[in-house]
Amino acid sequence: MWKDFKQFVLRGNVVDLAVAVVVGAAFSLVVSSFVSGLLTPLIAAIFGKQNFSGLTFTINGSVFRYGLFLNALISFLLVTTAIFFLVVKPTTALMHRFGVLPKDEPPRKPCPECTSEIPEAARRCPECTAVLASAA
């Protein structure tokens, strides 16, 4: 049983997952501090308020704290924006530059005989072997 457990723990994907969780937690700290330290004060400078949690309204004695929702929504938008522009876009550009991402597939069209998807430049369908009109 110990041997099976050791194999499971030392399997590549388990170790990779553990590393990903730790790096993700550390990265979450970086993004959160970027948002709370730089972007939220920017919002406060524009709107005059940094924290909307005090915003409420009352109906029949029930207090609705819509400011908490606004805080969460603004935080979510700021975090996702920061991740997109500081991580996703640069990483995608780097992967394109080094040829890691697959190239875009050529445009496709349906075969008039079997309706399978085939490249636009194809002269014969690979599925039903129908001869097609020459590509323009």
C-alpha gyration radius of the chain: 27
Domains in the chain, please, with CATH? Answer: 2-97 (1.10.1200.120), 105-136 (no CATH)
Average pLDDT, rounded, for the chain: 81
Label residue 134 by pLDDT band (50, 70, 90).
low
- Residue 61: Cβ-neighbour burial (10 angstroms; 0-12, 13-18, 19+): exposed
DSSP tag of 50:
S
* pLDDT 10s digits, 69-103: 888 888 888 888 888 888 889 988 888 888 777 77
Mean pLDDT, to the nearest integer, of 49-60?
A: 83
Query: Could you give the angle at which helices 2-10 and 12-34 cross, rounded to 10 degrees?
Result: 50
- What is the length of the chain? 136
Query: Residue 136: pLDDT above 50?
Result: no
Mean pLDDT, to the nearest integer, of 113-121?
A: 86
Q: Residue 41 is encoded by which pair of tokens?
A: 């004060």
Question: How far is the C-alpha of 72 from the C-alpha of 5, rounded, in Å?
Answer: 41
Question: How far is the C-alpha of 79 from the C-alpha of 64, rounded, in Å?
Answer: 25
pTM of the full structure: 0.52
pLDDT at 135: 47
Helices (H), 84-122: 89-97
Three-state secondary structure call for residue 12: helix
Tokens 């990265």, residue located: 27
Mean pLDDT, to the nearest integer, of 111-117?
A: 86
pLDDT at 58: 93
Higher pLDDT: 12 or 88? It is 88
